[in-house]
Amino acid sequence: MTGEGKQGAAVIDERPWYVANELLALLIELLALGLLCWWGFATGDNAGFGVLLGLGTPAAAAALWWLFAAPRARFRPALPGVLLVKALVLGGGAVALYGVGHPVAAVVVAVVTAANITVAEAFRRSPPGGDREPAGRAVRITVSGARRPLVGTEPGNNASTRDWT
Protein backbone atom coordinates (compact mmCIF):
# COMPACT_ATOMS: atom_id res chain seq x y z
CA MET A 1 0.00 0.00 0.00
CA THR A 2 1.18 3.47 -0.70
CA GLY A 3 1.30 6.37 1.70
CA GLU A 4 2.26 5.73 5.31
CA GLY A 5 -0.07 8.44 6.65
CA LYS A 6 -3.15 7.25 4.71
CA GLN A 7 -4.02 4.17 6.76
CA GLY A 8 -7.82 4.59 6.47
CA ALA A 9 -7.77 5.50 2.77
CA ALA A 10 -5.58 2.60 1.61
CA VAL A 11 -8.44 0.40 0.37
CA ILE A 12 -10.14 3.35 -1.28
CA ASP A 13 -6.92 4.11 -3.17
CA GLU A 14 -6.72 0.51 -4.43
CA ARG A 15 -10.35 0.18 -5.56
CA PRO A 16 -11.93 3.53 -6.42
CA TRP A 17 -14.49 1.88 -8.73
CA TYR A 18 -15.63 -0.34 -5.87
CA VAL A 19 -16.31 2.69 -3.70
CA ALA A 20 -18.09 4.49 -6.55
CA ASN A 21 -20.25 1.43 -7.23
CA GLU A 22 -21.14 1.06 -3.54
CA LEU A 23 -22.14 4.74 -3.44
CA LEU A 24 -24.29 4.18 -6.53
CA ALA A 25 -25.85 1.14 -4.80
CA LEU A 26 -26.81 3.31 -1.82
CA LEU A 27 -28.38 5.89 -4.12
CA ILE A 28 -30.31 3.18 -5.98
CA GLU A 29 -31.59 1.74 -2.69
CA LEU A 30 -32.79 5.16 -1.53
CA LEU A 31 -34.30 5.84 -4.95
CA ALA A 32 -36.21 2.54 -4.83
CA LEU A 33 -37.71 3.46 -1.46
CA GLY A 34 -38.66 6.89 -2.76
CA LEU A 35 -40.23 5.42 -5.91
CA LEU A 36 -42.22 2.90 -3.87
CA CYS A 37 -43.44 5.75 -1.69
CA TRP A 38 -44.42 7.84 -4.74
CA TRP A 39 -46.25 4.89 -6.29
CA GLY A 40 -48.12 4.21 -3.06
CA PHE A 41 -49.35 7.77 -2.66
CA ALA A 42 -50.26 8.01 -6.36
CA THR A 43 -52.07 4.66 -6.44
CA GLY A 44 -54.32 5.00 -3.42
CA ASP A 45 -57.95 5.65 -4.37
CA ASN A 46 -58.66 7.58 -1.21
CA ALA A 47 -56.44 9.46 1.22
CA GLY A 48 -56.29 6.71 3.84
CA PHE A 49 -55.39 3.98 1.37
CA GLY A 50 -52.84 6.23 -0.33
CA VAL A 51 -51.11 6.96 2.97
CA LEU A 52 -51.14 3.25 3.83
CA LEU A 53 -49.55 2.30 0.50
CA GLY A 54 -47.26 5.34 0.42
CA LEU A 55 -45.75 4.60 3.81
CA GLY A 56 -46.36 0.87 4.11
CA THR A 57 -44.81 -0.27 0.84
CA PRO A 58 -41.40 1.36 1.39
CA ALA A 59 -41.49 0.33 5.06
CA ALA A 60 -42.08 -3.29 4.08
CA ALA A 61 -39.30 -3.08 1.47
CA ALA A 62 -36.89 -1.56 4.01
CA ALA A 63 -37.74 -4.29 6.54
CA LEU A 64 -37.19 -6.99 3.92
CA TRP A 65 -33.86 -5.41 2.98
CA TRP A 66 -32.78 -5.10 6.62
CA LEU A 67 -33.64 -8.72 7.32
CA PHE A 68 -32.04 -10.35 4.28
CA ALA A 69 -30.01 -8.10 1.95
CA ALA A 70 -28.24 -5.45 4.01
CA PRO A 71 -24.48 -5.83 4.58
CA ARG A 72 -25.24 -6.58 8.25
CA ALA A 73 -28.53 -8.37 7.63
CA ARG A 74 -30.24 -10.09 10.52
CA PHE A 75 -30.50 -13.30 8.49
CA ARG A 76 -28.04 -13.85 5.66
CA PRO A 77 -29.35 -16.34 3.08
CA ALA A 78 -27.21 -17.78 0.30
CA LEU A 79 -26.44 -15.55 -2.68
CA PRO A 80 -29.57 -16.53 -4.67
CA GLY A 81 -31.75 -15.49 -1.72
CA VAL A 82 -29.99 -12.14 -1.37
CA LEU A 83 -30.32 -11.52 -5.11
CA LEU A 84 -34.02 -12.38 -4.92
CA VAL A 85 -34.58 -9.81 -2.17
CA LYS A 86 -32.59 -7.23 -4.14
CA ALA A 87 -34.68 -7.98 -7.23
CA LEU A 88 -37.90 -7.58 -5.26
CA VAL A 89 -36.95 -4.30 -3.58
CA LEU A 90 -34.89 -2.60 -6.29
CA GLY A 91 -36.91 -4.06 -9.14
CA GLY A 92 -40.02 -3.00 -7.26
CA GLY A 93 -38.75 0.56 -7.44
CA ALA A 94 -38.47 0.32 -11.23
CA VAL A 95 -41.92 -1.26 -11.48
CA ALA A 96 -43.31 1.50 -9.26
CA LEU A 97 -41.83 4.12 -11.58
CA TYR A 98 -43.51 2.36 -14.49
CA GLY A 99 -46.74 2.33 -12.49
CA VAL A 100 -46.76 6.10 -12.08
CA GLY A 101 -46.45 6.55 -15.85
CA HIS A 102 -42.74 6.77 -16.66
CA PRO A 103 -41.88 3.64 -18.67
CA VAL A 104 -38.64 4.90 -20.23
CA ALA A 105 -37.27 6.06 -16.89
CA ALA A 106 -38.32 2.72 -15.37
CA VAL A 107 -36.27 0.84 -17.97
CA VAL A 108 -33.26 3.10 -17.28
CA VAL A 109 -33.56 2.49 -13.53
CA ALA A 110 -33.88 -1.27 -14.10
CA VAL A 111 -30.79 -1.41 -16.37
CA VAL A 112 -28.66 0.72 -14.02
CA THR A 113 -29.80 -1.40 -11.07
CA ALA A 114 -28.96 -4.67 -12.82
CA ALA A 115 -25.54 -3.37 -13.87
CA ASN A 116 -24.83 -2.12 -10.36
CA ILE A 117 -25.72 -5.45 -8.75
CA THR A 118 -23.63 -7.36 -11.29
CA VAL A 119 -20.58 -5.15 -10.77
CA ALA A 120 -21.02 -5.23 -6.98
CA GLU A 121 -21.05 -9.03 -6.92
CA ALA A 122 -17.97 -9.13 -9.17
CA PHE A 123 -16.12 -6.74 -6.84
CA ARG A 124 -17.13 -8.74 -3.77
CA ARG A 125 -15.69 -11.90 -5.30
CA SER A 126 -12.30 -10.34 -6.11
CA PRO A 127 -10.23 -9.11 -3.14
CA PRO A 128 -8.47 -5.74 -3.23
CA GLY A 129 -5.06 -6.04 -4.86
CA GLY A 130 -6.15 -9.11 -6.86
CA ASP A 131 -3.12 -11.29 -6.05
CA ARG A 132 -3.22 -11.09 -2.27
CA GLU A 133 -3.27 -14.20 -0.12
CA PRO A 134 -6.41 -15.15 1.81
CA ALA A 135 -7.00 -13.26 5.07
CA GLY A 136 -6.44 -16.42 7.13
CA ARG A 137 -2.77 -16.42 6.16
CA ALA A 138 -2.13 -12.74 6.83
CA VAL A 139 0.08 -11.53 9.66
CA ARG A 140 -0.31 -8.34 11.62
CA ILE A 141 2.88 -6.54 12.61
CA THR A 142 2.51 -4.00 15.37
CA VAL A 143 4.77 -1.05 16.10
CA SER A 144 6.45 -3.03 18.87
CA GLY A 145 7.30 -5.76 16.35
CA ALA A 146 5.23 -8.52 17.99
CA ARG A 147 3.64 -10.87 15.47
CA ARG A 148 0.24 -12.49 15.79
CA PRO A 149 -2.07 -14.11 13.24
CA LEU A 150 -4.83 -11.98 11.78
CA VAL A 151 -8.20 -13.69 12.12
CA GLY A 152 -10.87 -12.19 9.89
CA THR A 153 -11.49 -8.49 9.67
CA GLU A 154 -11.00 -6.51 12.83
CA PRO A 155 -12.65 -3.08 12.99
CA GLY A 156 -10.90 -0.24 14.71
CA ASN A 157 -7.43 -0.60 13.23
CA ASN A 158 -5.44 2.54 13.84
CA ALA A 159 -2.19 3.98 12.55
CA SER A 160 -0.10 1.97 15.03
CA THR A 161 -0.93 -1.36 13.31
CA ARG A 162 -0.63 -2.44 9.71
CA ASP A 163 -1.84 -5.57 7.88
CA TRP A 164 0.77 -7.31 5.75
CA THR A 165 0.06 -10.13 3.37
pLDDT, position 9: 46
pLDDT, position 120: 86
pLDDT, position 143: 52
pLDDT, position 96: 96
Contacts of 162 (CB under 8 A, 6+ apart): 7, 140, 141
pLDDT, position 113: 94
pLDDT, position 79: 86
Mean pLDDT score of the chain, rounded to an integer?
78
pLDDT, position 127: 64
Low-confidence ranges of the chain (pLDDT < 50): 1, 3, 5-6, 8-11, 13, 132-142, 145-146, 150, 152-154, 157-162, 164-165
Closest by alpha carbon to 128, among 5, 3, 16, 6?
16
* Residue 2 vs residues 50, 93, 113, 142, 145: alpha-carbon distances, Å: 54, 41, 33, 18, 20
Which tens digit of pLDDT belongs to each residue from 110-132?
A: 999 999 999 888 887 776 665 54
pLDDT, position 14: 63
